Structure 1
């Protein structure tokens, strides 16, 4: 619930900028608490989501490039599609892994976009305050 920001301190006749930990202005608000919570969940989920997504993306792209540009037949590169689609997990786990992959990607996109929008909103509000509005 804290954010590191820079604050200026006057010390004698010179100003130096020191890192100071200050609480968020809206510390007690529900939005601020939700923002902190979403950021924690986003950070916690990222390592769990990134590995399956990297496997899916790398095998899908490699399959397409090997087949189209490499001139390999479907049979030669089908093992990549087996990994890509999760066929190696069997008929029971394959749809579950595909669903978790999709939900993980959507979660990361949604929370990442929300965090980015909150950051832009915070910068916009700060610039409006500096402009005197």
Structure 2
């Protein structure tokens, strides 16, 4: 793998007409780009792997929370009539030991999906921006 980076760096310096004095800088840039690319692939894999595990608990939490609020506020139901939704929403049915663990895992899963999704989106925008700059001659 290192040989490929070295070859790319030497080729880039020859194409640009620069001397091989800048080879370490070019080589480090090539390696850094590869590290970012590998990290991007790895994060995308983790994001894809975690999504099925996170989506069902989040859907249950969102749907029970929204249904509880709408049934109570707009439906005119009492707190006692819709408490079973809050029991599911908060994970009370799991007992006092598992309830905080499930709530924590749900929160961590949501934060993970938001953070990795945002990072992947920013990388996509960044690639598009770089491509448009190259097309414009910048």
Distance 2:10 2:69 in 1: 47
Q: Deviations over 1:66-105 (max 9, x none)?
A: 0011111110000000000000000000000000000000
Match of 1:75 among 71, 77, 80: 80
Q: TM-score when scaled to structure 1?
A: 0.80
Higher relative contact order (CA 8 A, sep 6+): 2
* 8 Å Cα contact 1:60/1:84 also seen in 2: yes
1:110 paired with 2:104, answer no
Structure with more of its chain in helix, by fraction: 2
Q: CA separation of 1:131/1:75 partners in 2, compared to 1, >3 Å: closer, same or farther?
A: same
List gaps (5 residues or longer) in structure 2. Answer: 1-5
Distance 1:4 1:45 in 2: 37
Runs of 4+ with >6 A deviation: 1-28
Q: CA separation of 1:24/1:11 partners in 2, compared to 1, >3 Å: closer, same or farther?
A: closer
Residue in structure 1 matched with residue 37 of structure 2 by the alignment: 32
Deviation of residue 29 (structure 1)? 1.0
Q: CA separation of 1:36/1:11 partners in 2, compared to 1, >3 Å: closer, same or farther?
A: closer
Distance 1:37 1:4 in 2: 25
The alignment yields a C-alpha RMSD, in angstroms, of 9.1
Q: TM-score when scaled to structure 2?
A: 0.77
Deviation of residue 16 (structure 1)? 42
